[in-house]
């Protein structure tokens, strides 16, 4: 069954990480994903890590988005990673097990 990825998901690897303080960034397509859960409260503390779920607005593919932030004197670490989720809950999608979706 030929099930090509959509325009957005085709530009996002199964897993991508970036150290923001090192000038790294996630793929541009990640910015087109929409948040499916609101941002957590109490974020800007000295050290925070949280995960939210992002969703592709075109095909509905879900991603786990992790944000990590740590601050101390003379030292700031800020990094993110994103990981594509399995399709077990996407009932209307073709069976793509076996492919790296």
Q: Which of 9, 62, 80, 82 binds Zn ion (CB under 5 A)?
A: 9
What's the closest the beta carbon of residue 8 comes to Zn ion, in angstroms? 5
Give the x-and-dash track for 81-100 against Zn ion (CB under 5 A): --------------------
- Give 45's contacts (C-beta < 8 A, 6+ positions apart): none
d(CA 42, CA 39): 10
CA gap 84, 100 in Å, rounded = 10
**Binding residues for Zn ion restricted to 32-61, rule: CB under 5 A:** 56, 58-59, 61
Output the six-digit token pair for 71: 């601050």
Q: Is residue 6 at the binding interface for Zn ion, with CB under 5 A as the rule?
A: yes
Phi-psi region for residue 35, left (φ > 0), alpha (ψ -120 to 50) or beta? beta
**Min CB(15)–Zn ion separation in Å:** 16
Residues that bind Zn ion (CB under 5 A): 6, 8-9, 56, 58-59, 61
């Amino acid at each position: 069954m030929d099930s090509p990825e959509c325009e957005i998901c085709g530009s996002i690897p199964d897993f991508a990480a970036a150290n923001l303080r090192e000038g790294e960034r996630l793929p541009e397509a990640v910015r087109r994903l929409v948040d499916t859960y609101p941002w957590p409260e109490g974020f800007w503390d000295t050290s925070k890590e949280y995960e939210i779920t992002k969703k592709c607005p075109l095909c509905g593919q879900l991603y786990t988005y992790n944000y990590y932030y740590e601050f101390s004197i003379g030292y700031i670490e800020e990094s993110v990673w994103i990981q594509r989720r399995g399709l077990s809950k996407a009932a209307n999608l073709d069976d793509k097990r076996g492919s790296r979706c």
